[in-house]
A and B are shown apart, each in its own frame.
Chain A
Amino acid sequence: MTRAALLVLADGRFPAGGHAHSGGAEEAVKAGRITGVTGLEAFLRGRLHTAGVVTAALAAAAAAGADPAELDAAADARTPSPALRLTARKLGRQLMRAARATWPSAELDALAGEFPAGAHQPVVLGLTARAAGLGAADAAYCAVYESVSGPATAVVRLLGLDPFAATGVLARLAPELDRVVDRAVSCGTAAPTQGVDVLPAASAPLLEIGAEVHAGWPVRLFAS
């Protein structure tokens, strides 16, 4: 295994479609819940401890060898909003393409065959980490970091926020990211033996509702 593979996978420029998604930030900006750095930090913290920990645990579980189809069903059950389920599958399909081209693997091929319209993105992420020779904690780190860095970048674009200030928010959240990863890894690595019910099911109702609202807009900059 190589540490540098983690950087390749975690890089925001890894071409897996994430750049067109705001993680709910576009809707939160429009609704006036994010107007500056303070609002961004509160939004990201909420996202980290709900969607963030759930996706990180799913990714860790997939990387630890849990059954991908069961994880995909577990992800569905943890995502009430149909718009968010669709987004997660689209992003999963896009990540699958990039992952198979980058780290060819029989497990990825099998998942692509089983889910031609896309499996949930964190499940694909976990298998991608395996294909890259990375472990459960690496997969969880990619997932939690993505859960906050994507919306932060989107808010920089949407509000013209100072990019240094937005990056500072991410740096301040880093210790919390570590703690979320610890929790995600302990649940995720238990999943192969104890089943998917050990995975967290934290939910942010406003993110789910906001995603449905956003999907109905006739004009928007981000896909979600």
Chain B
Amino acid sequence: MHLDHSHHGPAAVGADARRADGSRRALRIGLGGPVGSGKTATVAALCRALRDELSLAVVTNDIYTREDAEFLLREAVLPPERITAVETGACPHTAIRDDISANLEAVEDLEDEVGPLDLILVESGGDNLTATFSKGLVDAQVFVIDVAGGDDIPRKGGPGVTTADLLVVNKTDLAPYVGSDLARMAADAKAQRAELPVVFQSLRGEAGVADVAAWVRARIAAWTA
């Protein structure tokens, strides 16, 4: 890899922790997971929880352009110039894993235009259980599943469930209605992930996104240490 910054012009490699001017770039956290599991709702809640303490921006990767970005705009979780939508050519996992160039442009443009930033959240378009982010794009990834998608998803595993830095099991408020066994989901997740953390959350409940926000704060502290 070519990591030499003595050349002029933009940096060649997006994973470098330093920007071309030598300053530290924003921490980038990816949020992936199946369609409708609550990625955008989690991003929105995180923005509300963290925007007073951190300089934030969001990149969305919709299957259909701008749906998620427009939701975030409607909810006014951040000023519009802090939200960017990337188009993924019907293939959301390609844009976050195999060919990350459009996403790297998006995060770098955000830092240039509204920076300095502490944190950029990159939401993947809803995909399948094998979709994970490239380490060239994000520093940490959250995989969001929900209780309504079936309580056997943690048992099935797959790269997202098994290797994500944080697994979020969302919509716990719906568990009684869909017959999902939360204790079993927790045991299966533990078996798949060993020591990697798991959060059970309901964005409809009082605590909301608090546990995930606390995890993000810890990552930020480690990044800036």
The answer to whether B201 has its CB under 8 Å from any CB of chain A is no
Give per-residue flags for B74-102: 1 if the beta carbon is below 8 A from chain A beta carbons, else 0.
00000000000011111100110011111
Chain A, residue nearest B1 (CB): A101
Contact, CB under 8 Å: A94 / B65: no
Chain B, residue nearest A94 (CB): B101
Given contacts A13-B99, A98-B101, A104-B2, contact A20 B10 (CB under 8 A): no
Chain A, residue nearest B61 (CB): A20
The answer to whether A86 has its CB under 8 Å from any CB of chain B is no
The answer to whether B12 has its CB under 8 Å from any CB of chain A is yes
Contact, CB under 8 Å: B95 / A220: no
In the complex, how many angstroms separate the beta carbon of A36 from the nearest chain B beta carbon?
18
Cα separation A15 to B9 with both chains bound (whole Å): 20
The B interface is mostly helix, strand or loop, or mixed, namely: loop
Contact, CB under 8 Å: A97 / B102: no
Cα separation A16 to B100 with both chains bound (whole Å): 8
Contact, CB under 8 Å: A113 / B9: yes
In the complex, how many angstroms separate the beta carbon of B153 from the nearest chain A beta carbon?
26
Given contacts A98-B101, A218-B66, contact A104 B12 (CB under 8 A): yes
In the complex, how many angstroms separate the beta carbon of A216 from the nearest chain B beta carbon?
12
Chain B, residue nearest A93 (CB): B105
The answer to whether A90 has its CB under 8 Å from any CB of chain B is yes
Contact, CB under 8 Å: B90 / A13: no
Report the interface size class on chain B. Answer: 20 to 34
Total CB contacts across the A-B interface at under 8 A: 94
Contact, CB under 8 Å: A15 / B12: no
CB-CB < 8 A to B95: which residues of A? 19-20
The answer to whether A112 has its CB under 8 Å from any CB of chain B is yes
Cα separation A6 to B12 with both chains bound (whole Å): 21
Q: Which of A94, A110, A112, A222 lies in contact with B90, CB distance below 8 A?
A: A222
Cα separation A109 to B100 with both chains bound (whole Å): 20
The answer to whether B14 has its CB under 8 Å from any CB of chain A is yes
CB-CB < 8 A to B10: which residues of A? 97, 112, 116
Contact, CB under 8 Å: B105 / A219: no
The A interface is mostly helix, strand or loop, or mixed, namely: helix
Contact, CB under 8 Å: B8 / A19: no
Contact, CB under 8 Å: A21 / B12: no
Chain A residues within 8 Å of chain B by Cβ, number: 33
Contact, CB under 8 Å: A17 / B101: yes
Interface residues of B in 47-88 (CB under 8 A from A): 63-67, 86-88
CB-CB < 8 A to B90: which residues of A? 154, 157-158, 221-222
Cα separation A97 to B86 with both chains bound (whole Å): 17
In the complex, how many angstroms separate the beta carbon of B87 from the nearest chain A beta carbon?
4
Given contacts A94-B105, A223-B89, contact A100 B99 (CB under 8 A): no
The answer to whether B13 has its CB under 8 Å from any CB of chain A is yes
Give per-residue flags for A128-169: 1 if the beta carbon is below 8 A from chain B beta carbons, else 0.
000000000000000000000000001001100000000000
Cα separation A153 to B63 with both chains bound (whole Å): 17
The answer to whether A22 has its CB under 8 Å from any CB of chain B is yes
Contact, CB under 8 Å: B9 / A157: no
Contact, CB under 8 Å: B12 / A97: yes
Interface centre among B14, B94, B102 (most CB of A within 10 A): B102
CB-CB < 8 A to B66: which residues of A? 218-219
Give per-residue flags for B101-140: 1 if the beta carbon is below 8 A from chain A beta carbons, else 0.
1101100000000000000000000000000000000000
CB-CB < 8 A to A18: which residues of B? 99
Contact, CB under 8 Å: B89 / A154: yes
CB-CB < 8 A to B105: which residues of A? 90, 93-94, 97
Contact, CB under 8 Å: B101 / A97: yes
Q: What are 13 of the A-B contact pairs (CB < 8 Å)?
A: A17-B99, A19-B89, A19-B99, A20-B88, A20-B89, A20-B91, A94-B105, A100-B2, A104-B4, A112-B7, A154-B89, A220-B65, A221-B88
| Further pairs besides A158-B90, A218-B66: 9, Cβ < 8 Å | A13-B98, A17-B99, A19-B95, A20-B87, A20-B88, A110-B9, A112-B8, A113-B8, A223-B102
User: What 9 A-B pairs come out closest when comparing CB atoms?
Assistant: A112-B9, A20-B89, A113-B9, A100-B12, A94-B101, A223-B87, A15-B99, A109-B7, A17-B101
